[in-house]
């Protein structure tokens, strides 16, 4: 056995101090690092560890339903069956993809593509293979479930509009939430791919309709396999909306249009509630992103199916505007009901002939007949005496030139020109322009809703109500969340006497022997109304309006008709616009008649007895 | 052999106490960390208890044999260990890309674990002859170098970067402890620095990747950086008081790699928080400082160097392992003494403790 060597042991002892310090420093380093991880970054890393293990399986809320004023369901949610595949589970058996593809009527490659597209997903995350499969496919899949590991069929609510394209512009549509909307929804964020109201009521009342999405929290392991459920939240369905429109009336109105284009709005003049809102052509409401081709077709359609023309379309008011000119004349004392002007079929002003629609003229004509028979030359002369600014003042009294404030997106304000308005844009107002303005042409632009406000205001003794489309909001249990009572949004500063004169004249337009609105004549009730024609292009002076049918459709005039009934106690007011329809009298008035008949529950006259008088009134304005 | 009564009087109960406390915490922690692992057969913590008992028996035996005998057989033991390393390369069992195990009957063990002890033994034997006044010269260090290089090459071949690094660090620690010439130290340092590119080229792809991702774990969050990120999340999410016994989610749900071996400290940090981590780290510090005291108070050069070698080995294991778990160091497979699961490792650790006890209780003898 070797001898113990105890030489130079002091070499070791001399290093003891330094070694202790070294060990101490090393452990201090570890301590500092621990402190930084567990104390300073503790809560942040705790959060990360929770993210690691907790997955949220979304369970979208049922969107609130839409009802009409009689409680008919306009929009609801039907179950849609969505097929998912968990690739990790399905890969065990290559037959699965083949079988699923066969049952869903798609190719195997399509499935592979969808899985490939989500390459970066977490493991065991299901991949959506097909949405909204029908019952037959569902039955097929379910009965073969045992042989299809990794297959998941999930039920999701899907927006359904049982009336098809009925009131599609009012109801609107949904689409996938875009980046902008994602950024703006900070308080209650949308998840990627969620559907959001994009147009119409679906857009305007999005916050009430969407509800609160629920979800199931599950704990997963590092491979993403579910370990145990942690909790279930919601979903809480959205609130139900009761619209003011009547689906039956809406249907009547839409059918009355046949294949014509344009807009119709009916309103209860004493509350401002809309009874029908039509814009033609309509579109099939789509509650999902439609194909790019279909979207392009809609956007590029020359008749603008995606525009709610009742509030977004701006047109010259045509002869409907004569109501304003007349009111301005009476209120300013420029005329009395007995003032008369001569009409010889043309009015020479400057170096131009301004024509009346009626060839040969009306002869000497007073205010009542001038309105009822829509004499242009009467209003040319009245307009010249008033000047543009006085006319504009009364147009503003009835809300023209500014948005009505209806709760629907993209409402347009229209234009009411005046001398100062023109000065700002183009220069001096020429008095010849006053002539056009007085009969609702020229720079003047109105939306159908604004003209409806005008006629309702006249019917209502000057009172203007805010047009509304929603009556109340209820939660899922039927408790009222919010009500929308009628709101008087303004009062035209016009004397009752003036309004009575106008009302009588409007009654005459429909009921008098030579009235231009006789297309809306009803036996049971007295209707008051006014026709109008909005020029699309300025026609040559020698153009005979009777030849309108010979020019291309897109250049033909728009036809207007505004009306209210019953005359004594107005319950409904209507505006009808028929794009490129020619004369208001022939194209628009019969549509208004059908709507009024329907709403006042009158028996529709037999079609053969009351032809639409197209021949008689071929060129009445 | 007759056992001196004085041995019992001088037995180092403090060291044994520290070791037993750490080992008990280790069993408890292992029980929790592996509670969710479904495994056929005996659970990890029971196997660990079994190996702990074997190890304690070996430790006591090692402690009571006079260390002068070890000095006599040091080079022979070293030779046997080297031979086993060759055996493992030829007949070893492959597990996850490395050939580290030899099977003897029902047991398999890792010769590289025992190489660490035999290497320390051989160095103690060599350095027990004191140098001249200026310290060991380069020429004198030639043999110790050979003692290092032979096992290192064989271990790197398995490949087992962790153990190779431990050998290297223990070697330099002992060089510092014994006196070597300043010139020798400088030369070794410069040569070592020059050898870094060479060593880098010897590394396997995954080893290089681990080192690269250590410096930038976000480079590959789902690949090699994953271990580092998940380990930091586990420890940090424990906060100050921890998630509680059996309540760690990172370890239970499989987000931690190797949670029963190299990353056992993350499980501890997650469930016991800063308080538990500091307790365990304090115990390790006491363990190492106590061992250091044994080394400098030893009776003779051989036992002093032997004890110091063991302490150095333990220190580097603890420091590198915890440093790695906390994301301060690259991921290298170096387990945590008495906490990580592993039969060979716990036995070799306890052999080291046996040697420390041996040196400690004989410092008043002879």
Number of residues that this document lists for chain A: 621
Domain boundaries along the sequence of chain B:
5-361
Question: Which range (A64-73, A92-101, A392-401) has the least confidence?
Answer: A92-101
Q: Which of A597, A589, A591, A543 is nearest to A566 (CA)?
A: A597
> With the C-alpha atoms ordered B338, B340, B342, B345, is the resulting torsion angle positive or negative?
negative
Question: What is the per-residue pLDDT for A296?
Answer: 86
Residue A242: C-alpha distances to residues A66, A103, A212, B347 (Å) = 6, 41, 20, 79
User: Would you say B118 and B77 are in contact if contact means Cβ atoms under 8 Å apart?
Assistant: yes
Whether chain A has a CB inside 8 Å of the CB on B185: the answer is no
Is the preceding omega at residue A235 within 30 degrees of 0, hence cis? Answer: yes
Q: Which of A592, A366, A364 is nearest to A501 (CA)?
A: A366
Full DSSP string of B289-301: HHHHHHHHH-SSH
Residue A615's pLDDT band (cuts 50, 70, 90): very low
Whether A490 has a pLDDT exceeding 60, the answer reads: yes
Q: How far apart are CA A124 and CA B5, in angstroms?
A: 66
Taking residue A550's Cβ as centre, other Cβ atoms within 10 Å add up to 8
| Rounded mean pLDDT, B273-301 | 95
- Say yes or no for a CB contact (<8 Å) between B292 and A19: yes
Question: Which range (A318-332, A386-400, B18-32, B197-211) has the least confidence?
Answer: B197-211
Q: How far apart are CA B156 and CA B160, in angstroms?
A: 5
CB neighbours of A415 closer than 8 A, spacing ≥ 6? Answer: A314, A401, A421, A443, A444, A445
Shortest Cα distance, chain B CAs vs residue A194, angstroms: 28
For B279, name the nearest residue in chain A, comparing CA atoms only. A31
Q: How far apart are CA B293 and CA B276, in angstroms?
A: 26
Name the average pLDDT for chain B. Answer: 87
Report helix angle A496-511 to A322-331, nearest 10.
140
Whether chain A has a CB inside 8 Å of the CB on B181: the answer is no
Whether B341 has a pLDDT exceeding 90, the answer reads: yes
Question: What is the per-residue pLDDT for B105?
Answer: 66
Who has greater pLDDT, B104 or A154? Answer: A154
Taking residue A486's Cβ as centre, other Cβ atoms within 10 Å add up to 14
Q: How far apart are CA B316 and CA B176, in angstroms?
A: 15
Q: How far apart are CA A528 and CA A456, in angstroms?
A: 11
Name the average pLDDT for chain A. Answer: 87
Who has greater pLDDT, A499 or A224? Answer: A499
Cα angle for residues A466, A470, A473 (degrees, 5° grid): 130
User: Would you say A523 and A533 are in contact if contact means Cβ atoms under 8 Å apart?
Assistant: no
Whether chain A has a CB inside 8 Å of the CB on B69: the answer is yes
User: Would you say B165 and B324 are in contact if contact means Cβ atoms under 8 Å apart?
Assistant: no
For B237, name the nearest residue in chain A, comparing CA atoms only. A46
Residue A612's pLDDT band (cuts 50, 70, 90): very low
Shortest Cα distance, chain B CAs vs residue A151, angstroms: 25
pLDDT tens sequence across B8-35: 788 999 999 999 999 999 999 999 988 8
For B295, name the nearest residue in chain A, comparing CA atoms only. A12
Domains of chain A: 56-243 (3.90.1310.10), 247-284+308-599 (3.40.710.10)
pLDDT tens sequence across A214-268: 877 777 777 667 777 777 777 889 999 999 999 999 999 999 998 899 999 999 9
| Whether complex ipTM tops 0.85 | yes
Q: Which of B93, B167, B110, B42 is nearest to B342 (CA)?
A: B110
CB neighbours of A590 closer than 8 A, spacing ≥ 6? Answer: A256, A519, A520, A612
Spell out a b/e string for B273-299, using b for 16 or more CB atoms within 10 Å of the CB, else e. bbebbbebbebbbbbbbbbbbbbbbbb
Percent of chain A with pLDDT over 90: 55
Q: How far apart are CA A263 and CA A254, in angstroms?
A: 9
Residues 277-306 of B with CB under 8 A from A: 277-278, 281, 284-285, 288-289, 292-293, 295-296, 298-302, 304
Question: Which range (A148-152, A333-337, B267-271) has the least confidence?
Answer: A148-152
Backbone phi and psi for residue B137, each to the nearest 5 degrees, phi listed first:
-95, 170
Residue B182's pLDDT band (cuts 50, 70, 90): confident
Q: How far apart are CA A211 and CA A231, in angstroms?
A: 19
Full DSSP string of A70-99: T--EEEEEEEEEEEEE-HHHHTT-THHHHH
Q: Which of B332, B91, B92, B319 is nearest to B227 (CA)?
A: B332
Whether B207 has a pLDDT exceeding 80, the answer reads: no
CB neighbours of A352 closer than 8 A, spacing ≥ 6? Answer: A432, A541
| Residues of chain A with C-beta less than 8 angstroms from the C-beta of B288 | 23
Pairing of strands A558-565, A262-267: unpaired
Question: What is the per-residue pLDDT for A479?
Answer: 93
Tokens of B317: 């294991």
Whether chain B has a CB inside 8 Å of the CB on A53: the answer is yes
Question: What is the per-residue pLDDT for A586?
Answer: 82
Q: Which of A161, A97, A88, A172 is nearest to A129 (CA)?
A: A97
Whether A611 has a pLDDT exceeding 50, the answer reads: no
pLDDT tens sequence across A112-139: 888 887 766 666 678 888 888 888 889 8
Q: How far apart are CA B43 and CA A118, in angstroms?
A: 39
Report helix angle A376-386 to A322-331, nearest 10.
50
pLDDT tens sequence across B186-202: 888 888 888 888 878 87
Whether chain A has a CB inside 8 Å of the CB on B315: the answer is yes
Residue A127: C-alpha distances to residues A60, A89, A107 (Å) = 17, 12, 16
- Say yes or no for a CB contact (<8 Å) between A49 and B299: no
Residue A546's pLDDT band (cuts 50, 70, 90): low
Q: Which of B151, B143, B149, B89 is nearest to B118 (CA)?
A: B151
Full DSSP string of A354-394: EEPSSTT--EEEEHHHHHHTT-HHHHHHHHHHH-HHHHHHH
Question: What is the per-residue pLDDT for A585?
Answer: 74
- Say yes or no for a CB contact (<8 Å) between A46 and B250: no
Which helix H or strand E contains A256, and what residues bound it? helix A247-256
Residues 126-145 of B with CB under 8 A from A: 128-131
Q: How far apart are CA A443 and CA A100, in angstroms?
A: 63
Tokens of B130: 């004191």
pTM: 0.66
Residue from the list A23, A44, A45 with its beta carbon closest to the beta carbon of B292:
A23
Q: Which of A16, A6, A36, A12 is nearest to B288 (CA)?
A: A16
| Rounded mean pLDDT, A385-412 | 95
pLDDT tens sequence across A26-42: 999 999 999 999 999 98
Question: Which range (A219-228, A269-278, A472-481, A494-503) has the least confidence?
Answer: A219-228
Pairing of strands A240-243, A66-67: parallel
Whether B81 has a pLDDT exceeding 60, the answer reads: yes
Q: How far apart are CA B265 and CA B278, in angstroms?
A: 11
Highest mean pLDDT among A129-133, B122-126, B129-133: B122-126
Whether B224 has a pLDDT exceeding 60, the answer reads: no
Residue A550's pLDDT band (cuts 50, 70, 90): low
Question: What is the per-residue pLDDT for A175?
Answer: 87
Residue A484's pLDDT band (cuts 50, 70, 90): very high
Backbone phi and psi for residue A214, each to the nearest 5 degrees, phi listed first:
-105, -175
Q: In this complex, how many residue pairs, one in chain A and one in chain B, have their CB atoms less than 8 Å apart?
A: 153
Residue B43: C-alpha distances to residues A533, B104, B182, B285 (Å) = 92, 21, 52, 30
> With the C-alpha atoms ordered A356, A358, A363, A365, is the resulting torsion angle positive or negative?
negative
Backbone phi and psi for residue A44, each to the nearest 5 degrees, phi listed first:
-65, -45
Is the preceding omega at residue B365 within 30 degrees of 0, hence cis? Answer: no
Tokens of A349: 């002003």
Whether chain A has a CB inside 8 Å of the CB on B257: the answer is no
Whether chain B has a CB inside 8 Å of the CB on A120: the answer is no
Residue A561's pLDDT band (cuts 50, 70, 90): very high
Whether B333 has a pLDDT exceeding 90, the answer reads: no
Highest mean pLDDT among A482-486, A516-520, A613-617, B178-182: A482-486
| Rounded mean pLDDT, B260-285 | 94
| Rounded mean pLDDT, B52-60 | 96
Whether B155 has a pLDDT exceeding 80, the answer reads: yes
| Residues of chain A with C-beta less than 8 angstroms from the C-beta of B128 | 2, 5
Question: What is the per-residue pLDDT for A405?
Answer: 94
Number of helices (H), then strands (E), belonging to chain B: the values are 14, 3
- Say yes or no for a CB contact (<8 Å) between B281 and A15: no
- Say yes or no for a CB contact (<8 Å) between B300 and A5: yes
Question: What is the per-residue pLDDT for B96?
Answer: 61
| Residues of chain B with C-beta less than 8 angstroms from the C-beta of A27 | 281, 284-285
Whether B351 has a pLDDT exceeding 90, the answer reads: yes
CB neighbours of B155 closer than 8 A, spacing ≥ 6? Answer: B85, B112, B115, B163, B164, B167
């Amino acid at each position: 056995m070797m001898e113990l060597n105890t030489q130079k042991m002091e070499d070791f002892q001399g290093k003891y101090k330094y070694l202790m310090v070294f060990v101490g420093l090393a452990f201090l380093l570890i301590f500092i690092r621990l402190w930084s991880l567990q104390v300073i970054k503790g809560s942040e890393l705790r959060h990360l560890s929770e993210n690691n293990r907790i997955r949220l399986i979304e369970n979208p809320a049922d969107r609130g339903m839409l009802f009409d004023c009689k409680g008919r369901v306009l929009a609801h949610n039907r179950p849609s069956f969505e097929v998912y595949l968990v690739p990790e589970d399905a890969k065990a058996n290559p037959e699965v993809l083949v079988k699923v593809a066969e049952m869903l009527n798609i190719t195997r490659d399509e499935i592979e593509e969808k899985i490939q597209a989500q390459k970066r997903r977490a493991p065991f995350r299901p991949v959506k293979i097909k949405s909204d499969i029908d019952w037959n496919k569902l039955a097929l899949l379910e009965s073969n479930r045992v042989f299809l590991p990794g297959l998941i069929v999930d039920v999701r609510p899907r927006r359904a509009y049982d009336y098809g394209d009925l009131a599609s512009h009012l109801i609107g549509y949904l689409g996938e939430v875009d980046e902008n909307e994602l950024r703006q929804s900070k308080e209650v964020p949308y998840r990627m791919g969620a559907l959001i109201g994009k147009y119409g009521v679906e857009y305007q009342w999005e916050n009430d309709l969407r509800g609160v999405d629920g979800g199931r929290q599950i704990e997963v392991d590092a491979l993403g396999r579910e370990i145990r459920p942690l909790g279930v939240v919601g979903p809480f369905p959205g609130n139900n909306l009761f619209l003011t429109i009547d689906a039956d009336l809406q249907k009547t109105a839409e059918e009355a249009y046949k294949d014509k284009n344009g807009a119709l709005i009916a309103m209860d003049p004493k509350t401002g509630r809309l009874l029908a809102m039509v814009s033609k052509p309509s579109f099939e409401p789509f509650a999902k992103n439609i194909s790019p081709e279909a979207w392009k077709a809609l956007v590029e359609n020359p008749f603008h199916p995606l525009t709610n023309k009742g509030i977004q379309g701006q047109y010259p008011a045509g002869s409907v505007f004569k109501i304003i000119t007349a009111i301005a004349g009476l209120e300013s004392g420029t005329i009395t009901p007995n003032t008369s002007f001569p009409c010889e079929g043309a009015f020479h002003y400057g170096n131009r002939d301004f024509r009346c629609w009626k060839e040969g003229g009306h002869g000497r004509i007073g205010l009542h007949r001038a309105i009822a028979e829509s004499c242009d030359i009467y209003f040319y002369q009245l307009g010249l005496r008033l000047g543009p600014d006085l006319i504009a003042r009364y147009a503003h009294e009835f809300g023209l030139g500014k948005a009505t404030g209806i709760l629907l997106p993209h409402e347009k304000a229209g234009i009411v020109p005046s001398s100062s308005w023109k000065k700002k844009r183009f220069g001096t107002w020429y008095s010849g322009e006053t002539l056009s303005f007085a009969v609702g042409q020229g720079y003047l632009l109105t939306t159908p809703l604004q003209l409806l406000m005008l006629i309702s205001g006249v019917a209502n003794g000057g009172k203007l109500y805010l047009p509304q489309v929603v009556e109340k909001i209820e939660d899922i249990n039927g408790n009222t969340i919010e009500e929308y009572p009628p709101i008087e949004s303004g009062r035209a500063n016009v004397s009752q006497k003036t309004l009575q004169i106008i009302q009588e004249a409007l009654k005459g337009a429909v009921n008098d022997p030579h009235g231009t609105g006789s297309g809306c004549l009803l036996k049971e009730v007295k209707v008051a109304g006014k026709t109008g024609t909005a020029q699309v292009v300025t026609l040559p002076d020698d153009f005979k309006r009777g030849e309108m049918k010979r020019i291309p459709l897109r250049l033909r005039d728009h036809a207007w008709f505004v009306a209210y009934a019953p005359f004594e106690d107005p319950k409904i007011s209507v505006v009808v616009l028929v794009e490129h329809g020619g004369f208001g009298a022939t194209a628009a008035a019969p549509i208004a008649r059908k709507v009024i008949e329907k709403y006042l529950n009158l028996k529709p006259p037999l079609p053969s007895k009351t032809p639409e008088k197209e021949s008689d009134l071929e060129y009445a304005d | 052999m007759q056992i001196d009564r004085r041995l019992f009087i001088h037995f180092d109960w403090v060291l044994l106490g520290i070791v037993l406390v750490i080992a008990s915490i280790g069993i408890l922690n292992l029980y929790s960390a592996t509670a969710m692992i479904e495994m056929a057969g005996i659970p990890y913590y029971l196997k660990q208890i079994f190996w702990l008992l074997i190890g304690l028996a070996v430790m006591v035996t090692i402690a009571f044999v006079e260390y002068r005998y070890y000095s006599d057989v040091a080079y022979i033991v070293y030779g046997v260990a080297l031979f086993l390393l060759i055996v493992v390369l030829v007949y070893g069992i492959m597990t996850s890309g490395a050939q580290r195990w030899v099977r003897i009957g029902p047991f398999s063990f890792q010769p590289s674990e025992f190489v660490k002890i035999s290497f320390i033994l051989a160095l103690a034997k060599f350095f027990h002859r004191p140098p001249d006044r200026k310290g060991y010269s380069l020429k004198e260090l030639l043999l110790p170098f050979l003692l290092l290089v032979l096992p290192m090459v064989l271990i790197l071949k398995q490949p087992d970067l962790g153990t190779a690094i431990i050998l290297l660090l223990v070697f330099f620690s002992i060089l510092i402890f014994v006196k070597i010439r300043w010139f020798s130290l400088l030369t070794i340092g410069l040569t070592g620095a020059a050898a870094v590119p060479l060593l880098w080229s010897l590394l396997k792809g995954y080893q290089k990747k681990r080192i690269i991702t250590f410096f930038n774990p976000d480079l590959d969050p789902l690949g090699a950086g994953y271990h580092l990120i998940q380990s930091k999340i586990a420890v940090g999410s424990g906060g100050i008081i921890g998630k509680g016994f059996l309540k760690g989610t990172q370890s239970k749900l499989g987000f931690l790699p190797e949670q029963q071996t190299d990353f056992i400290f993350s499980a501890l940090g997650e469930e016991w928080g800063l308080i538990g981590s500091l307790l365990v780290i304090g115990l390790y510090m006491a363990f190492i400082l106590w061992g250091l005291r044994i080394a400098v108070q030893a009776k003779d050069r051989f036992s002093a160097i032997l004890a110091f070698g063991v302490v150095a080995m333990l220190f580097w294991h603890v420091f590198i392992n915890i440093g790695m778990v906390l994301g301060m160091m690259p991921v290298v497979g170096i387990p945590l003494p008495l906490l990580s699961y592993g039969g060979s490792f716990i036995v070799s650790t306890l052999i080291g403790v046996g040697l420390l006890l041996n040196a400690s209780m004989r410092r008043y003898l002879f």
